[in-house]
Amino acid sequence: MTALWRRQPVGIVGLGLIGGSLGLDLQALGACVRALVHRPETASRARERGLATTVSTDPGVLGDCGLVVLALPLDRLLAPDPALLAALPSQAVLTDVGSVKGPVQAAWRALGPRFVPSHPMAGTAQAGVEAGQADLFRDRPWVATPAPDTDPQALQAVRELAEALGARWCCCPASDHDRAVAMISHLPVLVSAGLLLACESTSVEDPELAPLLRRLASSGFADTSRVGGGNPELGMLMARGNREAVLRALGHYRQAIDTIEQLVQDQRWAELHQLLSLCQALRPDYLS
């Protein structure tokens, strides 16, 4: 059977980085994309950028969509606009792209078995209507966290969407997802932010060094600081929505830093080399 995203219009609620990128890719594949945004100025710019076939601030734009993607910030997913809920087609497959799944699943499960919590593991440091870009999801994981009563056909519809965009499909329980992303997605944001704060503290402590710090910062610093210098609202919502798992992840990281600091303090260079060799061997397993 032809995939749902091909048979009926696809609705996208929100045209930030994820929603805008979805709109570009789906249109390139020949899909009809109907987007709902909050502000008229956002709608105007989204039309200029060609992020969807139709862009509106009227929830009625979603009327005959067969699949609706909720590309909203986490706080708006957890407290959805009643006008949006009223406008969602009763038979549509719904999915979200939020970075925390347990609370979202709890909030939306009441709408029925055609809601499929999902999370494309792709992003940049950009946000807003200017951020959408083509091929954002290609070769990136897209994870779903279905409940026991999730409609298998709805799950298949979301899988077909993800795979059409070139993503690598994965399913797991919501609790497992949240513990995993705390380590490999949420923790890096906070660690990266910590690096930037440490550099700024050094600049304040030693003002004469500050210009040199900025002048010498190059690829290693750029790679390590990228996510910490990204969207602050997204980082805060990740930490708030996944607080317990993030705290556990920070604890593991603190232990690792303490170990490294002690090796340097004690001048145990052979052990430090062994530890760094282990890290060199581990990295490919996480990026293959």
Give the chain's domains with CATH numbers: 4-172 (3.40.50.720), 177-287 (1.10.3660.10)
Q: How far apart are CA 12 and CA 208, in angstroms?
A: 50
CB contact at 8 A, 191 and 228: yes
Integer Cα distance of 185 and 226 in angstroms: 12
Predicted confidence (pLDDT) per residue in 186-231, tens digit: 999 999 999 999 999 999 999 999 999 999 999 999 999 998 888 8
Q: Specify the pLDDT at position 90.
A: 87
The answer to whether 63 and 84 are in contact (CB under 8 A) is no
The rounded distance, in Å, linking the Cα atoms of 288 and 184 is 14
Measure the CA–CA gap between 116 and 120, rounded to whole angstroms.
13
Q: How far apart are CA 229 and CA 162, in angstroms?
A: 28
Overall pTM surpassing 0.85 (yes/no): yes
| Lookup result for tokens 């986490």 | 74
For residue 113, the SS3 value is coil
Count other C-beta atoms under 10 Å from residue 44's C-beta. 13
What's the confidence (pLDDT) of residue 231?
A: 85
In terms of Cα–Cα distance, which of 40, 24, 32 is closest to 6?
32
